[in-house]
């Protein structure tokens, strides 16, 4: 099977935002502009995460989802603040292909089971935000890594599988936004623990990080944010002279790597992916 290269876009109201370890979010620009660029670059999927939805108790991306679905023709997953069947239905009607659920899976496990029966497992993904504790175990968190659940990740991933989810989206909060590579140990443990496609997010700093992940695990897809965002901003900076802080970020820890460059590199190294 082809490895899926997924562009993840964290969104706070009208802005695409990016932080480190899911904190310190700063605006980078309009998400629709980035999404269109990634679509034209050859992204296999897009993942919209409303990072303040849980705080406000609702997902606010309906208009953006509708705009995206009219102009971009690749699968779109949407996450953030989804607590009701009606919200899932509204997001799917707006044009999303899948929803990703985290907090509500803990507070209302029946929502997952019911949603899978109504919409199909392939439409329902579960997000797990993971932090490694001092005892070496991995635990699931919610609210952008702020709220501990005391649920060990391997146990939780098994429970999610039994609930019927079609996919797990795994975020290493410890590595997210740092460009230090992926937590291979975590990825292996989860993939070996469930019979589900697993998408990894958190840690990509260069092409080799992604190649190492694919070679050492049976990952289904890689969701990338910082590396692609900063590559796009470099491209913009060449054509836009601006003193705005958004265009004066420190790019040193991330390789200048577009989706096209990444896919060509992976294919050269005998990884199956769609150009």
pLDDT digits over 120-157, tens only?
A: 999 999 999 999 999 999 999 998 888 999 999 999 99
Q: Domain segments of the chain: what residues?
A: 4-268
Q: Is-catalytic flag, 10? A: yes
The whole-angstrom separation of Cα 81 and Cα 61 is 11
> Average pLDDT for residues 215-221, to the nearest whole number?
97
Q: Locate the DSSP E strands across 56-159.
A: 76-79, 98-101, 124-132, 138-142, 147-152
> Average pLDDT for residues 202-222, to the nearest whole number?
97
- Whole-prediction pTM: 0.93
> For 49, phi and psi rounded to 5 degrees?
-120, 115
Determine which one of 45, 50, 87, 129 is catalytic.
129
Looking at the chain, the whole-number percentage of residues with pLDDT higher than 90 is 80
Superfamily assignment of 4-268 in CATH? Aldolase class I (3.20.20.70)
Tokens of residue 200, six digits: 């990894």
On the question of pLDDT at 269 being above 70, the answer is yes
Q: What pLDDT band is residue 238 in, cutting at 50, 70 and 90?
A: low
Residue 130's nearest CA partner among 73, 193, 206 is 193
Average pLDDT over all residues of the chain: 91
- What's the pLDDT score for residue 1? 82
Q: Mark residue 24 as left, alpha or beta (left: phi above 0; alpha: psi -120 to 50; beta: remaining).
A: left
> Average pLDDT for residues 190-216, to the nearest whole number?
97
Q: Is-catalytic flag, 45? A: no
CB 249 within 8 A of CB 230: yes
On the question of pLDDT at 236 being above 90, the answer is no
- What's the pLDDT score for residue 253? 77
Judged by average pLDDT, the poorest of 94-108, 124-138, 158-172, 223-237 is 223-237
Strand partners, 17: 10, 27
Q: Are strands 147-152 and 138-142 parallel, antiparallel or unpaired?
A: antiparallel
């Amino acid at each position: 099977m082809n490895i899926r290269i997924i562009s993840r876009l964290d969104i706070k109201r009208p802005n695409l935002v990016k932080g480190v370890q899911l904190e310190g979010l700063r605006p980078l620009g309009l998400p629709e502009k980035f999404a269109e660029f990634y679509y034209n670059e050859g992204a296999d999927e897009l993942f919209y995460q409303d990072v303040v939805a849980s705080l406000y108790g609702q997902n606010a991306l309906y208009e953006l989802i509708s705009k995206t679905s009219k102009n971009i023709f690749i699968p779109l997953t949407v996450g953030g603040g989804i607590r009701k069947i009606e919200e899932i239905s509204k997001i799917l009607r707006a044009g999303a292909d899948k929803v990703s659920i985290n907090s509500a899976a803990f507070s209302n496990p029946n929502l997952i089971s019911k949603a899978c029966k109504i919409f199909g497992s392939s439409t329902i993904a579960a997000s797990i935000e993971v932090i490694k504790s001092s005892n070496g175990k991995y635990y699931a968190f919610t609210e952008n890594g702020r709220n501990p659940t005391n649920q060990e990740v391997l146990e939780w991933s098994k429970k999610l599988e039994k609930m019927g989810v079609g996919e797990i989206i795994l975020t290493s909060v410890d590595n997210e936004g740092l460009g230090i590579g992926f937590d291979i140990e975590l990825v292996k443990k989860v993939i070996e623990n469930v019979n589900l496609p697993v998408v990894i997010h958190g840690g990509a700093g260069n092409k080799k990080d992604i190649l190492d992940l694919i070679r050492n695990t049976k990952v289904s897809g890689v969701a990338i944010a910082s590396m692609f965002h900063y590559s796009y901003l470099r491209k913009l900076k060449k054509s836009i002279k601006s003193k705005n802080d958004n265009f004066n970020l420190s790019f040193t820890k991330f390789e200048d790597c577009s989706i096209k460059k990444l896919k060509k590199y992976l294919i050269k190294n005998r990884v199956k992916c769609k150009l």
